[in-house]
Chains A and B, each alone.
Chain A
Amino acid sequence: MSALGDRSNGAGEVREEACAADVFRRGLLERSKAGLVEIAAAIGLDTSGGVRELVERILQANRDAASLASRVLALDPAAGWGLALLVASKRSEWPADAWREAMLSLGADARETWTLLGGLGLAVLVDRLETAQPAPPGQKPQKPCERPFETLSSATLILVPEEILKLGLGRIRLPHAQSTTTRVRQVREADAMDRLLRLSALWQLVDAAPPRISQSGVLFKRDLDRLEKAQTLAGPAPEAPLQMPRPVEFWLDLAWSIGLVRPEPDGDRILPARYDFWEENAFHLDQMIAIAWLSPESSAPVSPEVRRDAALRTALILRLAGAMGDEWVACADLADALASSRARSSLLSAESPAARSARGKAIRKSSNRDEQVRTVEAVLLEQAYSLGLVRTAEAALGEEPLVSLSALGRYALGLGPPPAPPQPFEKFLYVQPNFEIIAYRQGLNAYLLGQLARFADWVRLDAAVTLSVTQESVYRGLESGLSPAAIAAFLDRHAARPAAAAFTEALADWSRRRERVIFHPSAALLEFARPEDLEAALSLWSEDARPERINDRLLLVEDDSSIPYHAFRLTGSRDYRKPSEACVHVQPDGVTLELDPARSDLLIDAELERLAEPSGSNSRSGASPNDPGARTYRITPRSLGSALRAGMTAGGIDEWFRRRTEKPAPASVRLLLLGLDRARGRKSLKAGREWVLRASSPEIIDGLLMYPETASRLGERLGPRAVSASVRDLPELAKTLAALGYDLENELRLENGDDDSDLA
């Protein structure tokens, strides 16, 4: 986690540089004016002016490379080591706790060194913005430079000016190496390809099945188990002095830090970088790996155990850098130095007695010599050796191992020229009849390895590595832009003898099979009103870039930036990643649906045909931009029945109406749906003959419905001045009304007892 952003590309680096300078300025601004005056005086600057002027003057002095170099050379040795830690890891900031730990390992007092560097304007302390804690209510926030240095955590960064990184380690004092020797035997160095092969194997495994990151920020166990079973990634390194206990997480950490694998945006998976990572970074890959390993922190989803000694890595490498190229240092001597440094630092520490007592136990434990030897060996013989940064030897048969920086190690630290490239070995592989490729490591380099990994899977990483060419691996190569001819040409160029005819035929056959089905995840389609318009539009593209004709009114454009919009009049535009739009009008009968050709899309026909029947002269080829007659569909009991049988529900149909017509399903459609709902049984409607009594005013009906002798003979009120009455009750009702002074005018002249049987 960096407070200074991503370092992944050129534009990012420019922003980063400006950002790092801004953060350094922020650190200076947090100092008191008196502190800034002291800094200015210490480096011989004018001490007049306000805070901002003093800060800008100090920054300006740091930008003067010659002045900066002479100031750095004149530093106390420990202060030089403090800067060297950052320069070696090519980072302008380190977490304060990791820097303190590394300084402790070098036998220096971190607090004193910080005070010295800070007093010369060569370092500042800043809190990370994302982890800064607000001060308790009523209290002034304490600046990091005001807090005891021993209490600073990884939430605080120690920063140096970017210009110091440009000085390089060659112009900074390095810690003295321990007792050295130049007479050694059995010099061993890791195979230069091994680290790249492991990373390439991881890249392929991640591509085949992207592992997932759990809530706790590490890989899910099943994914980790799967990767640990892959011999190409987790198998023992040939001839390594020691084997790593957690190889998968070690390589994953490095792959993550150099960008070979990356987190899925908005997801929890780890994805591989694009194939061109190998081409783009072939030349600098070793250096990128070294810098990633020397980094004191990482955001990779690995357990903290993997990076437990991260701060120690740079300190130990710096101790080796202090030796000359042919001088060797014993791991045991490094361990002794580490133990005594830690013991001495604990005595020098300005911690409170309580804190010192608590730390004392840990220090005593870590001062144990065996423990220190184990730690040094883990860092140098397991990790740095497998990255090619150190080589090993022994002074005499069976003696403890000696180490020194390799040519690559010196180059990665900026202390030596690039290692000599291996002798060219053009014909380094054999294509076997069983579709395996045997490749000699001497012929491989990062570029060729990346090319091979595109279309073949690593199977075994022995002295000669074995790859397997399968249908899936060839598809991966084809998807990355290779053609069967390009694969065959690559193998012809580097194979000691031509591949069997069956091999090249299989390549061609797999390629043809792959062309049988093409999937367009986000194509653009142009829909024309008339075939003549499509023909006219086709002439707008050059012969070699013409879109593909789908039918007489649709063109498929693979690259929508090639569409000549100036020649077109857009009658509609629809983005299929967005929710569908309303494009259907419902006629008053509720069952006739009319399609709006201007707003319709390619999905609507399929949707409509699932629940309605075409009526009139509908076309199946999609809505037409200039279709003068809108197409109509009709919902029938049969069409709705089919929709329900196909899995649609009444709720789904109502949702469809709301989405496509912006209204709920019409009553007539709901009527049909209720009729089709077998679960509720067959519905019945009751039909019967009734009289309608009409009165001259609502008051009369109100009274009739309230008066007991009339109310019992009346039915449902039909309106303000109308009420129903049963035919059977009519004679009695007429008598009652007569008694009340009302005449009943019988227009149909029906007699008592007329039939009122159900008509149903």
Chain B
Amino acid sequence: MTKPENGRRIPVKLHRQTALIRVNDPLLAEELLARKSLARRIVGRLSPTVLLVAPESETFVLEELRRMGHSPRPARGEGDSGP
């Protein structure tokens, strides 16, 4: 890990505990947004493949993704539980 070259501290805003869906294809993101029940819980599209999920909607969104036939992989190191 290095320091910024000119010693200037970089201004940054930190967003903690955000819930995101990351897909490997923009078309898949479109497919998710076309699902009304899911779209209501998606409050932003941060990039073509990253969707911002409304807080406290994680369980619903995960279940809805599974109902759509997807198998979302929980990101490692974030809220691990169970086997």
Q: Please give the residue numbers on chain A whose beta carbons come within 8 Å of chain B beta carbons, in ascending order.
A: 203, 207, 271-275, 454, 471, 475-476, 478-481, 510, 513-529, 533, 536-537, 539-542, 550-551, 554, 556, 558-560, 563-564, 566-577, 601-603, 605-607, 621-623, 625-626
Whether the Cβ atoms of B20 and A523 lie closer than 8 Å is yes
Separation of A520 and B58 alpha carbons in the complex (Å): 9
Contact B14 A573 (CB under 8 A): yes
Report A519 CB to chain B, min CB distance, Å. Answer: 4
B3 at the interface (CB under 8 A from A): yes
Interface contact B46-A524, CB-CB below 8 Å: no
Question: Which residue on A lies nearest to B21, using beta carbons?
Answer: A519
Collect the chain A residues with CB atoms within 8 Å of residue B79's CB.
521-522
Task: Tell me whether B71 and A520 are in contact (CB under 8 A).
Answer: no
Main secondary structure of the interface of B (DSSP, over half): mixed
Contact A560 B16 (CB under 8 A): yes
Do A625 and B13 touch (CB < 8 A)? yes
Residue of B nearest to A511 (CB): B73
Contact of B72 among A518, A540, A605 (CB under 8 A): A518
Give the distance in Å from the alpha carbon of A517 to the alpha carbon of B82 in the complex: 20
Confirm or deny: B33 has a beta carbon within 8 angstroms of a beta carbon on chain A: no
Residues of chain A contacted by B23 (CB below 8 angstroms): 516-518
- The CA-CA distance from A601 to B71 in the complex, in Å, is 29
Chain A residues contacting B47 (CB-CB under 8 Å) are 550-551, 554
- CB neighbours of A271 from chain B (8 A): 81-82
Interface residues of B in 29-70 (CB under 8 A from A): 43-44, 46-47, 50, 52, 54-55, 58, 61-62, 65, 70
Contacts of A520 in B (CB 8 A): 18-22, 74-75, 78
Query: Which residues from chain B sit less than 8 Å from chain A, CB to CB?
Result: 1-5, 9-25, 28, 43-44, 46-47, 50, 52, 54-55, 58, 61-62, 65, 70-83
Q: Would A533 and B12 count as touching, CB distance under 8 A?
A: yes
Chain B residue at minimum C-beta to C-beta distance from A274: B83
Chain A residues whose C-beta falls within 8 Å of the C-beta of B14 in the assembled complex: 524-527, 563, 570, 572-574
Contact A602 B75 (CB under 8 A): no
* B12 in contact with A556 (CB, 8 Å): no
Chain A, residue nearest B52 (CB): A602
Additional A-B contacts beyond A521-B19, A523-B18, A572-B13 (4; CB < 8 A): A517-B70, A517-B73, A537-B12, A577-B55
Chain B residue nearest to A204 (CB atoms) is B83
Contact of B55 with A550 in the complex, beta carbons under 8 Å: no
B44 adjacent to A559 (CB under 8 Å): no
- For B5, the closest partner residue in chain A by CB is A536
A558 touches B15 (CB 8 A): no
A-B pairs with beta carbons under 8 Å apart, 27 shown: A272-B82, A274-B80, A274-B83, A475-B71, A476-B83, A517-B70, A519-B22, A519-B72, A520-B19, A520-B21, A521-B74, A522-B17, A525-B18, A563-B14, A567-B3, A569-B12, A572-B14, A574-B16, A575-B17, A576-B15, A576-B17, A577-B55, A602-B52, A603-B54, A605-B44, A606-B44, A622-B44
- Contact partner of A558 (CB less than 8 A), chosen from B2, B11, B12, B77, is B77
Tell me whether B3 and A479 are in contact (CB under 8 A).
no
Q: Are A540 and B11 in contact (CB under 8 A)?
A: no
Distance of A566 Cα from B3 Cα, bound (Å): 8
Residue of A nearest to B71 (CB): A514
Partner among A479, A563, A601 whose Cβ is within 8 Å of the Cβ of B74: A479
Distance between A544 CB and nearest chain B CB, rounded to angstroms: 12
Contact partners of B77 in chain A: CB under 8 A = 558-559
Task: Select B18's contact among A272, A516, A576, A607, beta carbons within 8 Å.
Answer: A576
Which residue of A has the minimal Cβ distance to B70? A517
Partner of B20, one of A481, A515, A556: A556
B11-A529 in contact (CB<8A): yes
Q: For the complex, what is the distance from the CA of A422 to the CA of B62, rounded to whole Å?
A: 44
